[in-house]
Amino acid sequence: MICRDFTRSLLAYLQGEMAEPKFGEMVEHEATCPACRRLVAEHPASEPRLNAEETGSVSPGQTESAEEVAQGAKEFLTSVIARTSGSDCDWVSLRMAEAMDEPLVKESVRPVREHLEDCPSCRRLRDQLNALPEYYDALPLLKGSQRFTEAVLARTVGPRPNFLEVVRAIWRSPGTLWESAVACALVVAVVFGSVLPSFDSVSDSVSDSVREVAQSAQVPTMRWGTLASSGERPSLLRRWSTGAANAWSGIETKATTVSEWSARTSEDIRTRDYPGLLEDIRVVLEPLGLYPDSDQKPDLEPEAEAESGVDSDSGPAAH
């Protein structure tokens, strides 16, 4: 409450025509504001009251110190308590509510106790005030959820992008695309590499299948085309299957060749057999016309010679 409100309601306050909670606010304001307390004391409608000036603690016109103000407020509260205790249920209820935070001032304890002994409704109110914490505990403490977070984000920074939008964004950024592609390839290689079938197992499996088909094409009960067993033209199915078997055999042979070549070159590198390595490379490149002529081919011998102690200056430099 501010002094202006206090002044406006002063007459009703002094004439006892004010109800709670307004009355309580007026009492508290008067107790804490020396200027308004002086106003009350000087008001014609005011009953004789106990205030700082009357008790002689402060002479008229003298400015009160903080301690004097506090002392005056305390004495005034004592006078109010004496005036209202035992008859004002509202005053008692406020004191009981205050007592939930901090102990009552000792001037209030006795009047409140005496009032409670005689007033069943205030006892009921006291019990209810004591039960308030139990009521408060019954209210739930809510927790946030993913849905709530999403909703807030959607209303503020925009919705979280879904998978397709992320992919689209990556696609529009070539640099990121390549990085993502390499990352995905690595993940696939690491995750699935150990469970993928080896080339040999696939090769065996396909060879067996082709062989079975080729054999089944020679079954005499087949009705389409000319039977192979009759010695005449081979059937269409047999020709296809034989062709597939031959083609696969060629692939398999080449793959085996490549595999062997790879193993051989690896061995050459491991054992530092450079002439052997050169020979292996020549075997592959020469049929393709990519192998350099003998006068152009790189000579690895000097290094070997150098290792064996022969002067390298006698031959072409090997780098």
Partner 1 sequence: MKTDEELLTLCQKRDSHAWESLVRRHQGRVLTLAYQFTGDNQTAEDLAQDVFVRLYESIDMFEPGRKFQAWFTSLARNMCIDHYRKRRKDRQIVSKPVEEFYDLESTTEGSDARLERRELKQRLLAALDSLGTINRDAIVMKDLQGLSHEEMATMEGVPIGTIKSRVSRARAELARVLIRLERPQMEAQV
Instruction: Using alpha carbons, select from 38, 44, 90 the residue that is nearest to residue 59.
Output: 38
Q: How many CB atoms lie within 10 A of CB 319?
A: 6
Instruction: Enumerate residues 267-286 that contact partner 1 by CB under 8 A.
Output: none
- In the chain, helix, strand, coil percent, each to 5? 65, 0, 35
Among the listed residues 12, 28, 84, 303, the single contact to partner 1 using CB under 8 A = 28
Q: Report how far residue 39's alpha carbon sits from residue 49's, in angstroms, rounded to the nearest whole number.
A: 12
User: Contact between 174 and partner 1 (CB under 8 A)?
Assistant: no
Among the listed residues 7, 14, 24, 276, the single contact to partner 1 using CB under 8 A = 24
Q: Of the two residues 21 and 243, which places its CB atom closer to partner 1 in the complex?
A: 21
Across 170-202, b (16+ Cβ under 10 Å) vs e yields beeeeeeeeeeeeeeeeeeeeeeeeeeeeeeee
Supply 272's token pair: 């530092």
Among the listed residues 14, 50, 116, 125, the single contact to partner 1 using CB under 8 A = 125
Q: Of the two residues 160 and 272, which places its CB atom closer to partner 1 in the complex?
A: 160
Tell me, residue by residue from 43 to 82, as one string, x for binding to partner 1 by CB under 8 A and - for no binding.
----------------------------------------
Tell me, residue by residue from 84 to 123, as one string, x for binding to partner 1 by CB under 8 A and - for no binding.
------x--xxxxxx-xx----------------------
Tell me, residue by residue from 130 to 159, as one string, x for binding to partner 1 by CB under 8 A and - for no binding.
-xx-xxx-xxxxxxx---xx-xxx-xxx--
Q: How far is the CB of 78 from partner 1 (least distance, A)?
A: 17
Q: Report how far residue 260's alpha carbon sits from residue 251's, in angstroms, rounded to the nearest whole number.
A: 14
Which residues, at least 6 apart from 182, have a Cβ–Cβ distance to it below 8 Å?
A: none
Q: CB of 170 within 8 A of CB of 176? A: yes
Supply 144's token pair: 């946030």
Q: How far is the CB of 267 from partner 1 (least distance, A)?
A: 54
Mapped onto helix, strand or coil, the DSSP state of residue 271 is helix
**Cα of 238 vs its chain's centroid, Å:** 64
Q: How big is the site for partner 1, counted in residues (CB under 8 A)?
A: 40
Binding site for partner 1 (CB under 8 A): 1, 20-21, 24-25, 28, 32, 90, 93-98, 100-101, 124-125, 128-129, 131-132, 134-136, 138-144, 148-149, 151-153, 155-157
